[in-house]
Amino acid sequence: MKYTEEHEWLRVEDDVVVVGITAHAAEQLGDIVFVELPEVGDTVAKDDEIVVIESVKAASDILAPIDGEIVEVNTALADSPSAVNEDAIGAGWFFKIKPDDTSQMDEYMDEAAYNKLIA
């Protein structure tokens, strides 16, 4: 698993990358009440704003961590956005992306480096 400085996690599963936010980010946001996801089939570029999260504290945009095509979104979040707070790295994932170039993930942190960042 890889982590971004923007508190996203990326997990490779077969030929796609699953993306969500870390438990630390979910905790900082507070209770999440709304998540707007991209559309399946959208082609995104790294740093495009593709997810909007609203919590009781703030609204936040999630940026695409890599270039690629959105192949699946977590539609369950529409009815249960709190899943992000309850299980950020499990049931709270946002989308799956088929990457154009997996080497874009090389710049991101491993878990030890991320834990150092948030310490």
Second CATH level (architecture) for the domain 2-102: Beta Barrel (2.40)
For the chain, helix, strand, coil in percent to 5 are: 25, 40, 40
18: left (phi over 0), alpha (psi -120 to 50) or beta: beta
Q: What is the pLDDT of residue 33?
A: 96
CA-to-CA distance for 89 and 61, rounded, in angstroms? Answer: 18
pLDDT tens for residues 73-108? 999 999 999 999 999 999 999 999 999 999 999 999
Reported as a pLDDT band with limits 50, 70 and 90, residue 36 is very high
CA-to-CA distance for 21 and 84, rounded, in angstroms? Answer: 8
Domain boundaries in the chain? Answer: 2-102
